[in-house]
Structure 1
Amino acid sequence: MRQRLDTLLHSDRALGALASAMDRNGNLRTYTAGVGDRDTHAKVPRDGQVRIGSVTKTFTAVVVLQLVHEGEIALDASVETYLPGLVRGKGIDGQKITVRQLLQHTSGLPEYEGDVTNDILERRYLSPRDALDVALGHEAVFTPGTEWGYSSTNYLIAGLIVQKVTGRPLAEEVDRRVIRRIGLRHTYFPAPGETTIRERHPQGYRQDHADAPPRNVTDIDPSASWAAGAMVSTNSDLNRFFSALLDGGERLLKEDQLKEMRTTVPMEDPNVPAEKRRYHAGLGIVSVKLPSCGKVAWGHSGAIPGYGTWAAATDDGRAASVSMTLEPKSGEAVKHLEEAMEAALCDR
Structure 2
Amino acid sequence: MSINLSGQNRSTLDADADADADADAGQERPGLRKVLEEIVDSGITGITLRVHDERGEWVGSAGVSELGGAAKPPVDGYVRIGSSTKTFIAALVLRLVAEGRVELDAPVAGCLPGFGVDGRITVRMLLQHTSGIFNFTGEYYEDGTVVAGIPATTAGKEWVDNRFRTYRPAELVRLALSRPARFEPGADWSYSNTNYVLARLLIEQVTGRSVTEEMRRLILGPLGLSGTAVPTTGTEIAEPHAHAYYRYEDAGEERTVDVTSLNPSWISSGGDMISTSRDLHTFISALVSGRLLPAELLAEMCTPHPTPIPGMGYGLGVFVQDTGRGGTVITHNGGAAGHAALMYSTPDGSRTLTGTLNYVDDAALSHAMAFQQATQRLVDEVFCDGPADPARRAG
Q: TM-score, normalized by length of structure 2?
A: 0.78
1:301 and 1:309 in contact (8 A); partners too? yes
**Equivalent residue, structure 2, for 1:28:** 57
Name the amino acid aligned to 1:221. N
Distance 1:242 1:81 in 2: 31
Of 87, 94, 101, 2:125 maps to 101
- Aligned-pair CA distance for 1:288: 0.4
Distance 1:286 1:280 in 2: 6
Matched, 1:150 2:213: no
User: Relative to 1, partners in 2 of residues 1:283 and 1:38: Cα closer, same or farther, differing over 3 Å?
Assistant: same
User: Relative to 1, partners in 2 of residues 1:5 and 1:207: Cα closer, same or farther, differing over 3 Å?
Assistant: farther
2:87 and 2:317 in contact (8 A); partners too? yes
Overall identity of the aligned pairs, in %:
36
- Aligned-pair CA distance for 1:331: 4.4
- Aligned-pair CA distance for 1:214: 4.1
Distance 1:196 1:121 in 2: 16
- Aligned-pair CA distance for 1:22: 1.1
User: Relative to 1, partners in 2 of residues 1:24 and 1:168: Cα closer, same or farther, differing over 3 Å?
Assistant: farther
2:306 and 2:313 in contact (8 A); partners too? yes
Moved more, 146-155 or 338-347: 338-347
Deviations 1:137-192 (CA, angstroms, capped at 9, x unpaired): 322111111101000000000110000000000011112211111112211111x4
- Indicate the SS of the match to 1:174: helix
- Aligned-pair CA distance for 1:8: 2.8
Distance 1:60 1:148 in 2: 19
**Count of matched residue positions in the alignment of Structure 1 and Structure 2:** 329
- Aligned-pair CA distance for 1:3: 2.7
**Equivalent residue, structure 2, for 1:334:** 371
Matched, 1:287 2:320: yes
Name the amino acid aligned to 2:107. S
1:188 and 1:232 in contact (8 A); partners too? yes
Of 192, 201, 216, 1:160 maps to 201
1:290 and 1:296 in contact (8 A); partners too? yes
Deviations 1:78-123 (CA, angstroms, capped at 9, x unpaired): 111110131x3xxxx4312111000000010111125233389521
Deviations 1:34-74 (CA, angstroms, capped at 9, x unpaired): 11011443321122111000000000001111111111111
Distance 2:215 2:347 in 1: 24
User: Relative to 1, partners in 2 of residues 1:235 and 1:341: Cα closer, same or farther, differing over 3 Å?
Assistant: farther
Q: What aligned pairs does 1:182-331 form with structure 2 within 5 A after superposition?
A: 182-190=223-231, 192-208=232-248, 212=254, 214-248=256-290, 251-268=291-308, 277-291=310-324, 293-316=325-348, 317-326=350-359, 327=361, 329=365, 331=368
Distance 1:167 1:310 in 2: 32
- Indicate the SS of the match to 2:37: helix
2:127 and 2:316 in contact (8 A); partners too? yes
2:276 and 2:356 in contact (8 A); partners too? no
User: Relative to 1, partners in 2 of residues 1:35 and 1:104: Cα closer, same or farther, differing over 3 Å?
Assistant: same
Matched, 1:134 2:175: yes
**Equivalent residue, structure 1, for 2:97:** 68
Of 210, 214, 217, 1:169 maps to 210
Deviations 1:266-291 (CA, angstroms, capped at 9, x unpaired): 1126xxxxxxx510000001110113
1:28 and 1:236 in contact (8 A); partners too? no
Name the amino acid aligned to 1:5. L
User: Relative to 1, partners in 2 of residues 1:341 and 1:233: Cα closer, same or farther, differing over 3 Å?
Assistant: farther
Of 112, 115, 132, 2:136 maps to 112
Distance 1:24 1:227 in 2: 34
Matched, 1:51 2:92: no
Deviations 1:267-324 (CA, angstroms, capped at 9, x unpaired): 126xxxxxxx510000001110113x43210010111112122211003510001322
**Equivalent residue, structure 1, for 2:45:** 15
Distance 2:132 2:44 in 1: 33
> Gaps (5+ residues) in structure 1?
270-276
Matched, 1:38 2:79: no
| CA radius of gyration, larger in | 2
